Chain A
Amino acid sequence: MEERANGIEVHGLVREYKKGPRAVDGIDITVAPGEIYGFLGPNGAGKSTTVHVLTTLLPPTAGTARVGGYDVVKEGPKVRSMIGVALQEAALDPLLTGRDHLRLQATLQGVRKHRRKVQADELLIRVGLADAADRKVSGYSGGMKRRLDLALALVHMPRILFLDEPTTGLDPQSRTALWEEVARLRREEGVTVFLTTQYLEEADVLADRVGIIDQGKIVAEGTPAELKAEIGRPSVHAIPRDEQDREKIAAFLAPFGERLDTTRDVAVRLRDGLGLTDIVRAVDANGVDIADLELRAPSLDDVFLAKTGRTLEGAAEETEAR
């Protein structure tokens, strides 16, 4: 196969459903070869639709997308040869074993016959399924299915990997293992990774750059550090021991910065030049009993809040309610 840069370029991509909303509304994305791009957004924001278009599963309504240098509409077979995909719902055949799945996937992807078994055995070990390889998938746990799905996506050694919410429903141990594997693929094999997630931590830990999508549009893009730097200042969160002190705390915290809309605690975004010491002094001076006082660096949720006026969690609830 002709050697191509394994990047992704998307311009003005639109996907409309019949009688439905505009799921993707004119987005532009550039993912450099060997980069891990985190695509962050609440449920229903357009993440999965974008992945479906980029992996040639859905045709776009408008705009262009090139994956590994190939046009997703005109050169679908070449795109599919180059990519590995693990979708949100691991569609597996419950009647086949894990090894059967790998054999099938390797055959479909055109892996040479003598390599299929070797490749399958290596991957089964790598994802920790060697012992369960000959059991029917119907007996696998959710985490095992996810790991098998990842192995299937890797069976033909793709140059670009699409992972659609790969850790949803995984226990913390499996989640960390998957993160390590994704990081290794990028580090050792130079694989480009397009990762959708609704977990801020996941995007923060894994992604070189993050795109935040909401209602089909990209509302922010950059490295996690850049995005947080846009928000800039840390916030202070105080939990009163006595609920009646809430307004008193809010009043003496007001000079330190703008108040944040939170329910559990009283919080302010600190003005430049102020720190936790100033707050502690103020608490002491006002004689209020505080149960907990925390200084928080800006998170990607703060970025989402700043760009959309909602928290990620709130946006997800709104989407579900629509």
Chain B
Amino acid sequence: MRRWDVISGVAWRTLKNAILNPQIFLPTLMFPLFFFTAFAGGLSQLREIPGFDFPPGYTAFQFVFVLLQSAAFSGVFTGFGVARDFEGGFGKRLLLAAPHRSGIVLGYALAALLRWLVVAAVLTVVAVVAGMQVGGGAVDLVGLFVLAMLVNFCGFFWSGGLALRFRTIQAAPLMQMPVFLVLFFAPVYVPLELLEGWIESVASLNPLTYILETGRGFLAGDPPHALAAFGLAIGMGIAFWTWAFLGLRKAEAAGA
């Protein structure tokens, strides 16, 4: 019960800050909407390329990417908040007040998830209004959102782990850049089969490719490698969870 108190307290405070301060929350919401509008609208003719086979259409194709991107970046932006808190000394207050300190990390993670759920809801409404076709059933959609949720956890635990090690917002590029690269070295605009050259090789090795293709498959009603995608997402989640908690130990050893 005490751990849940810490989790709920940290999550409540992080969300309240985000809701009451548009400069914190708006980037999380605006970036995905901007990308969705730009990609699904401006690049929609890519669906005419020979070999582009995605029955629900290009809007749905891009929706999945932007959904996963928003999940990852909601996590990363919450990591920025962790860095700011520890840089400004508020992290010290949390470490002193929380009997169970693991609850601090989990509280931020819960805030990252709830923050993303708001973005995901807005994004989904915008996509449906924009005419997105959905081929999959309810179970497929749950699969898609659970997969995105795991990406959200990975994004947060990665950036939170860095934030707890560096304890300064100057580490923000380090938190953001690898996630950005992983996202854009996946088959963003066309399916993997249509990529060529070095980008095809990189995309084939990129774990996000399998998660993205499975997510698109859920929306189409035919996920290609669901087990591998969930295995990868859970595996990365466990690795980044460990990374974040080791970061907490570092912060504790340094007295935050």
Contacts and interface: CB of A to CB of B under 8 A. Distances in A.
B5 A107 contact: yes
Given A57-B92, A95-B17, A77 B99 contact: yes
A89 B96 CA distance: 13
Given A57-B256, A93-B13, A85 B8 contact: no
A59 B253 contact: yes
Contacts of B41: none
A58 interface: yes
Interface string B1-42: 110011011101100110011000000000000000000000
A108 interface: yes
Interface string B90-106: 10111111111000000
A108 B256 contact: no
A108 B255 contact: no
B88 interface: yes
B97 A96 contact: no
A104 interface: yes
Contacts of B13: 93, 96, 100, 104
B55 interface: no
Nearest to B1: A110
Contacts of A58: 255
Contacts of A109: 5, 97, 99
A105 interface: yes
Contacts of A152: 93
Nearest to B20: A95
A93 B253 CA distance: 23
Given A59-B253, A87-B92, A91-B88, A108 B6 contact: yes
Contacts of A59: 252-253
B96 A77 contact: no
A105 B59 CA distance: 45
A81 B99 contact: yes
B1 A91 contact: no
Contact of A77 (B8, B88, B100): B100
B178 interface: no
Interface string B222-256: 00000000000000000000000000000011011
B137 interface: no
Of B21, B93, B100, most A-chain CB atoms within 10 Å: B93
By secondary structure, the B interface counts as helix
B17 A108 contact: no
Given A95-B20, A104-B12, A80 B5 contact: no
B94 to A, nearest CB: 7
B249 to A, nearest CB: 10
Of A87, A109, A110, most B-chain CB atoms within 10 Å: A110
A100 B92 CA distance: 17
Interface string A71-102: 00000011011000101010111011000100
A253 B93 CA distance: 55
B89 A91 contact: yes
B145 to A, nearest CB: 29
B2 A55 contact: no
A117 interface: no
A52 B99 CA distance: 15
A96 B92 contact: no
A91 B5 contact: no
A108 B92 contact: no
A81 B96 CA distance: 9
B13 to A, nearest CB: 5
Interface string B159-190: 00000000000000000000000000000000
A108 B98 contact: yes
B5 A95 contact: no
A105 B97 contact: yes
Contact of B98 (A52, A80, A92, A93): A80
Given A107-B9, A108-B9, A110-B5, A52 B255 contact: yes
B92 A107 contact: no
A122 to B, nearest CB: 19
Nearest to A18: B254
B167 to A, nearest CB: 13
A61 to B, nearest CB: 11
Nearest to A93: B90
B96 A85 contact: yes
Interface string B63-94: 00000000000000000000001001110111
Interface in A97-156: 100, 104-105, 107-110, 152
Contact of B93 (A91, A95, A110): A91
A80 B99 contact: yes
A100 B2 contact: no
A57 B256 CA distance: 8
A92 B6 CA distance: 17
B92 A92 contact: no
* Ranked 4 nearest A-B pairs via Cβ: A91-B89, A107-B9, A58-B255, A77-B99
16 contacts: A52-B255, A57-B92, A57-B256, A78-B99, A80-B99, A91-B89, A92-B93, A93-B13, A95-B20, A96-B13, A96-B17, A104-B9, A104-B13, A107-B8, A110-B5, A152-B93
